[in-house]
Structures are given as structure tokens and as C-alpha cells.
């Protein structure tokens, strides 16, 4: 009787362990740091915090993080057209391996400057929304860039480029097609 109970307990433990998937890495996991920072530069986690501070300075409800999938994700006024109806229920994410360029954009109308992360030419529409669209959201959920309000925008651009480097990507402004 005891042997039968022990066998049943072991069988139950094995069947339960097969049902559980391995735990994904946490948000901002150091597992996605592929290169070490050079001396005198911010490290991986410090760079993430710096970028997050820049988006939160504009809007305390905004957020920047590295997802459990290793993508750079923004929440807040991202790629928006109907700002007054924003619910912040979605994130816009992009892989560091497909970032072609990061632009610092000066906004002379709202005076809230921005950065734009562009997808590589070979990977169009690489930026994507994670979450459920609300009824006022008319965007298709994919894009060729992500625009984010930040301050100070030029140092934030440099920090994003640095994070792309630390995560194993290369911001690449191509001059392949310049005609002389």
C-alpha cells in the first residue's frame, strides 16, 4: 500500500513538473547584456534606468524597460495621434538587433522633444505594439519606427544607442546608397 502511494506521488510530481514552463527572464534582465560597458560609461542597468528617468520626467506614468523577450519597450505617449485619449494599456517594443538609427527630434510646437528609433531597411515594420488596442486606437499595431517624448533628448538618444550596443545590436546609419 505504501509503495503504491509513493509511486502515485512520484508520478504526480513528474506530471505536474511537465506542465510548468520554465520561468522567463524578469524585466530588465542582465541576461540580455551581450557587451560590457567601456570604462567611464554607464552599465546595462544604469543605462536602462537613465532612459526610464527621461521618459518619466515628461510623464510620470510613462515607462521604459527591457522585456522578458529582450526587446526595448516604451509605454506612454508613443506613436500617438489621439493623445488626450491615451490609456497607457499598451507598450511599443523593438529588438535592439533591428534598430538602424536613433534620431533626436526637436519639437518647436509642443516644446517636448523626442527620439525616434528607426527599423533597419532590411527589417521594415519591426516595431510592434504589445497589449490590447482600445477602441480609440486606430494604429495597425506595427510600425517602421517608435517616437518617444524624452528629456534631455540628445543625451537620451546617446543612451538608447549605447543600450543597443550593450545588448549586442549596432545602430547603423547606412551610406550604402549615396551617389557621388
- The per-type count for the chain, helices as H runs and strands as E runs, is 3, 8
E strand or H helix at 153, and its extent? helix 153-166
**DSSP letter, residue 178:** -
What are the pLDDT tens digits along the chain (180 aa)?
565 565 665 555 555 555 555 666 788 999 999 999 999 999 999 999 999 999 999 888 889 999 999 999 998 766 555 444 455 677 899 999 999 999 999 988 888 899 999 999 999 889 998 877 666 666 678 889 999 989 899 999 999 999 999 999 998 764 444 444
User: What's the rounded Cα separation, in Å, for the pair 118 and 36?
Assistant: 24
Question: Closest Cα partner for 99 from 11, 163, 26?
Answer: 163
Q: Which three cell numbers stand for residue 25?
A: 527572464
Q: Could you tell me the pTM of the whole model?
A: 0.79
Amino acid at each position: 500500500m505504501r509503495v503504491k502511494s509513493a509511486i502515485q506521488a512520484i508520478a504526480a510530481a513528474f506530471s505536474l513538473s511537465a506542465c510548468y514552463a520554465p520561468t522567463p527572464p524578469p524585466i530588465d534582465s542582465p541576461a540580455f547584456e551581450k557587451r560590457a560597458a567601456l570604462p567611464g560609461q554607464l552599465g546595462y542597468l544604469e543605462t536602462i534606468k537613465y532612459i526610464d528617468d527621461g521618459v518619466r520626467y515628461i510623464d510620470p506614468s510613462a515607462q521604459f524597460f527591457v522585456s522578458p523577450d529582450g526587446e526595448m519597450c516604451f509605454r506612454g505617449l508613443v506613436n500617438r495621434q489621439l493623445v488626450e485619449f491615451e490609456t497607457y494599456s499598451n507598450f511599443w517594443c523593438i529588438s535592439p538587433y533591428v534598430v538602424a538609427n536613433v534620431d533626436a527630434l526637436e519639437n518647436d510646437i509642443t516644446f517636448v522633444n523626442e527620439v525616434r528609433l528607426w527599423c533597419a531597411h532590411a527589417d521594415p515594420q519591426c516595431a510592434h505594439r504589445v497589449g490590447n488596442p482600445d477602441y480609440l486606437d486606430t494604429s495597425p499595431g506595427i510600425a517602421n519606427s517608435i517616437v518617444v517624448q524624452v528629456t534631455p533628448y540628445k543625451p537620451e538618444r546617446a543612451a538608447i544607442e549605447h543600450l543597443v550596443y550593450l545588448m549586442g545590436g549596432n545602430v547603423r546609419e547606412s551610406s550604402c546608397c549615396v551617389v557621388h
